Amino acid sequence: MQYLQDVLNQVKEANANEPEFFQAVEEVFHSLEQVVQDGSDFQKQAILERLVEPERQIIFRVPWHDDKGNLRVNRGYRVEFSSSLGPYKGGLRFHPSVNLSVIKFLGFEQVLKNALTGLPLGGAKGGSDFDPKGKSDNEIMRFCQSFMTELYRHIGENTDVPAGDIGVAGREISYLFGQYKRITNQFQGVLTGKPEIMAGSALRTEATGYGVAYFLSAMLDAKNDSLRGKRCLVSGAGNVALYLMEKLAQHDAVVLTCSDSQGTLYCKEGLDVELVKHLKQEKGAKLRDYLNEHPDAEFTPVNQYPSDAHQVWQYEADIALPCATQNEITQKDAKALVSNGCMTVCEGANMPTTADALAVFKEHDVYLGPSKAANAGGVATSQFEMAQNASMQKWRPQQVDEKLQQVMKEIFDRVSSTAKQYDHEGDLLLGANVTGFERVSQAMIKQGAV
């Protein structure tokens, strides 16, 4: 469609130095060819032009003192993309790779992801190029306090409710919340992912990983299959990966791999998931240390990875579960997965598959669970936390887990039904993009030119 292509060209020209953002937009637009027709109401009301332009972009300086008394400076971001369906909602990422392109791609994805949940949530994302690794607790506290001293002006329980992401877990959320409360003199649900002692929700830490497992289970159920005995490749070793691995093990799947910034851990007979969790969460150790107790496992350091590929995807398996970061599955990785018999991929990270890799999967009919659907469990449980805060209630872990399972099953049903409606049965990526777009665009049309 000419309208789609014209807007895509405008996005590329206006955001020439933002490749991740353009990649995210292009992927969605390719799914909308049957939905957005030239001369339609979407074109007359400039829905696509408004969809790709954030409602607000905030960039600010974050000065803080390190433990030696030196003044350090980082850059902070909050991109409030869309409030069509509810208050802005999306995480904060603290990582050296953070830039405007990354934050905008994450925010754009978040809009559609939040729409898929059926919950009243808009989409946003934020963060900083600050690296928490190697920093003391006091340095992280001072940074978070400085970051919130600017951010507090732009957020609120009915305006914008940030959460955690890479580099932002319970510790960072606690420092951010403490500073918000200090400045505003209000104890309110303005951040999610808080520790339970601070009105956080049960299972919020586990929610994204658990949600990926529940979505994957729904994918397999639709094929009259199950997780039992499935050989799974998992990347990453953060909360998403660890709690996904935990749930996979509970469903009698075999977890073969995980990875961290140092390299990839592999065991043909299956990893001891509880030991991996102990090493990463309780000891803060490297995955390489797993070999001290299981010398039969293999560890491949990053400098021995294949060129333009990730070691974690080079093994025979049934299911691949990328849970590390964007664009971690390259075209070469996708070909290796297909060659090794892996015909199901479920994305735990945001946009972890490159466009070239997606083309390989499509060519070989790989069953793909897209990230904006599969990893929506985190934001769904964040909304549960918002609801608990607003009503001053506390839900039991079992209640939260039951609601999470229900939301993930409903998301699968929605995207699967939409794919079938548009004669692309089984194409969950198209189903997710179209379902999210239709819900957001309907709200935009009803609200007028805002």
Q: What are the catalytic residues? A: 125
* Nearest-angstrom CA–CA distance, 350 and 93: 12
DSSP string, 322-388: --S-TT-B-HHHHHHHHHTT--EEE--SSS-B-HHHHHHHHHTT-EEE-HHHHTTHHHHHHHHHHHH
**Three-class SS state of 307:** coil
Q: Which two tokens stand for residue 143?
A: 């940074």
* Nearest-angstrom CA–CA distance, 84 and 445: 9
What backbone phi and psi angles, to 5 degrees, belong to 384? -60, -40
Chain centre to alpha carbon of residue 247: 18
156 DSSP assignment: B
Residue in the structure block whose two tokens are 């769904």: 380
What backbone phi and psi angles, to 5 degrees, belong to 449? -80, 75
DSSP string, 262-301: TEEEE-TT---HHHHHIIIIIS---GGGGGGT-TTSEEEE
How would you list the strands of the sheet with 56-65, edge to edge? 56-65, 71-82, 123-128, 88-94, 160-163
* Nearest-angstrom CA–CA distance, 425 and 436: 17
